[in-house]
Structure 1
């Protein structure tokens, strides 16, 4: 008997992992060695290094949060799948934005574009996270609200970074880094699920 296999978190995660791997590969391929065999030539690549490190950290943070979120679902809904595709669509612009940032030495317009890309990407992540958490039984109401407040605060910092970049590119870029730091610890982790399992009556 042939039946169509249901969509699973593993399939969604595998596809997402593949996209992230391609994005990192494209960014790495944009790295070029200096034409001068001197330390000065190497130091002249600082815009490339800075933009690559921040973008790499962004991808790592996105992947980590996505990894933990996927532990809270059993069968992805159609809405969740499309939200994931929307999120990946935004992330796919990261190599372009990173290269532009490096080539222009973090000039104002590229930094504004970079910050806006982070705003849109984080906005899609917030929708993706909210869709998962509101259907999960692994959180209490207070834990759900705490995770959402943290995500929304980080989103607000990205939005502030975009606004500040219009005034000062370095200040805007600094706020981008600050917002990334808030996501170093995932907004939602599976620890609550394990603790509930231990405390539940047999």
Structure 2
């Protein structure tokens, strides 16, 4: 059985690689030899959607990392099921760079928004399963109804963002931005 410290160290490494891969996609287009000021501004303008999608994904990954760390800091030991629930979450997280880049290239394309929503749903679902296992099945943590409800609502909202992308990408973006903002609220406002 892996110790909880080994699981957390491996998870930290995977998450660091995910953030690095996303950062590699942040490239300013090359300029022609005889470039003008207008060409420079166009190149910088082309980077804005990349930076915005990176920032959004970075915040999502950061929130998951912080919550993951808080969970593992409080459990006394690991179980084999915990390892596999964690592996599913890491798998889902490792997919984040792909839709982040696709969304950066096509921010208003419903399919890109839908794909981003699908991957965030997988991540929220993975986190929900991990947290539920720790609190309900294995009782490694005390049950926290507020956290369980927040995780379930986030998962369902990300699921809703998938079909909403074809109704209005802005509704999906509202979900993508709203959920991280929700996690920044102090606990007293989330009850």
Same fold (TM over 0.5): yes
Structure 1 alignment gaps of length 5 or more: 1-5, 188-202
Name the structure 2 match of 1:23. 18
TM-score under structure 1 length normalisation: 0.81
Does structure 1 residue 8 correspond to structure 2 residue 12?
no
Q: Is 2:165–2:171's contact at 8 Å kept on the other side of the alignment?
A: yes
Runs of 4+ more than 4 Å apart:
none
TM-score under structure 2 length normalisation: 0.85
Moved more, 123-132 or 174-183: 174-183
Displacement after TM superposition at 1:170 (Å): 2.2
Name the structure 1 match of 2:145. 145
Q: Is 1:47–1:106's contact at 8 Å kept on the other side of the alignment?
A: no
- 1:136 paired residue among 124, 136, 140: 140
Whole-angstrom CA distance in 2 between matches of 1:64 and 1:106: 30
- 1:46 paired residue among 45, 48, 73: 48
- Count matched residues: 178
Displacement after TM superposition at 1:185 (Å): 5.9
Q: CA RMSD in A?
A: 1.9
Specify the SS of the correspondent of 2:184: coil
- 2:79 paired residue among 69, 77, 80: 77
Name the structure 2 match of 1:170. 170
Whole-angstrom CA distance in 1 between matches of 2:106 and 2:145: 40
Moved more, 45-54 or 178-187: 178-187
Name the structure 1 match of 2:64. 62
* Closer, same or farther: CA 11–25 of 1 in aligned 2, 3 Å: same
Specify the SS of the correspondent of 1:7: coil
Displacement after TM superposition at 1:172 (Å): 0.8
Whole-angstrom CA distance in 2 between matches of 1:67 and 1:185: 18
Displacement after TM superposition at 1:163 (Å): 2.5
Whole-angstrom CA distance in 2 between matches of 1:64 and 1:72: 13
Moved more, 171-180 or 119-128: 171-180
Whole-angstrom CA distance in 2 between matches of 1:173 and 1:156: 15
Q: Is 2:161–2:175's contact at 8 Å kept on the other side of the alignment?
A: yes
Name the structure 2 match of 1:114. 116
Q: Is 2:128–2:152's contact at 8 Å kept on the other side of the alignment?
A: yes
Whole-angstrom CA distance in 2 between matches of 1:106 and 1:17: 32
